[in-house]
Amino acid sequence: MTLTFYKYQGTGNDFVIIDNRDSILSKNDTKLFARLCDRKFGVGADGLMLLELPQDKEDDFTMVYFNADGNESSMCGNGGRCLVAFAAFLGVIKDKATFTAIDGKHKAEIKDGLVYLQMQNVSEIEKYDTHLFLDTGSPHHVAMVKDLTNYDVENKGRAIRKGAPYFETGSNVNFVEKKNENEFAVRTYERGVENETLSCGTGVTAVALSMHATKLTNDQEIDIHTQGGRLKVTFQKNGNGYKNIFLIGPAEQVFKGEITW
């Protein structure tokens, strides 16, 4: 079988995307998804997405996301932004979208070459002595560190991701350094990829909210520097949580290809 795929990236977070509106692929074919994401034996990506038909009349399409290990995963923010750009490329949408992902319904808009993706509201942020924990569509551990450039993200991140209280379920792990009042740098270890990625959209969102919750910034428009580029997060405080959260940044098609197996 010959499969047409597209490669997209959002600040270095890269994805294989397949138009699956005709159900050409089974969502149970996890070995195929892992192979396509393999950087040695496949196309190579941090994850794979299927664009499928909408689940209800309000939606333009459905987002189905798989981690690089082939398993269906929780929400991916950069993936969502790339899928919106792909939907516009296909003509499924023009510049606005409503779609359903594993964590619920999302709205998005393409403006001035950037994709604005509305994330789910966050009702609570857990604060500990050494870190914060919150769910922005995916679980995130957020910790402040010094000398982020030289920090051992791979080993430190893996230890936290697999340790208590996360264990096998795991958590994404974000290491953060403040640059100025409304700018922060972050490096993220992602579960499912089981390594550092150049960028993580739900992680960037978690960092922005955490920095505001701990009063390291008073701004509600935060610039985040990732290894793959810069993203912006805007939000509004809502009691102990946050609402109207938008993840903003570029999403680019890298290439189109075919693979036969």
| Token representation of residue 163 | 């340790």
Contact predicate 206/140, CB 8 Å: yes
- What pLDDT is recorded for position 146? 97
pLDDT in tens, 4-21: 999 999 999 999 999 999
- Across the range 58-70, mean pLDDT stands at 96
Q: Which residue has the higher pLDDT, 86 or 260?
A: 86
pLDDT in tens, 132-153: 999 999 999 999 999 999 999 9
- Across the range 119-136, mean pLDDT stands at 97
User: Which candidate in 50, 68, 76, 108 is catalytic?
Assistant: 76
User: Which candidate in 45, 49, 200, 245 is catalytic?
Assistant: 200
Q: Is 76 a catalytic residue?
A: yes
- Across the range 117-137, mean pLDDT stands at 97
CA-derived radius of gyration, the chain: 17
pLDDT in tens, 190-247: 999 999 999 999 999 999 999 999 999 999 999 999 999 999 999 999 998 999 999 9
Q: Is 37 a catalytic residue?
A: no
Percent of the chain residues topping a pLDDT of 70: 100
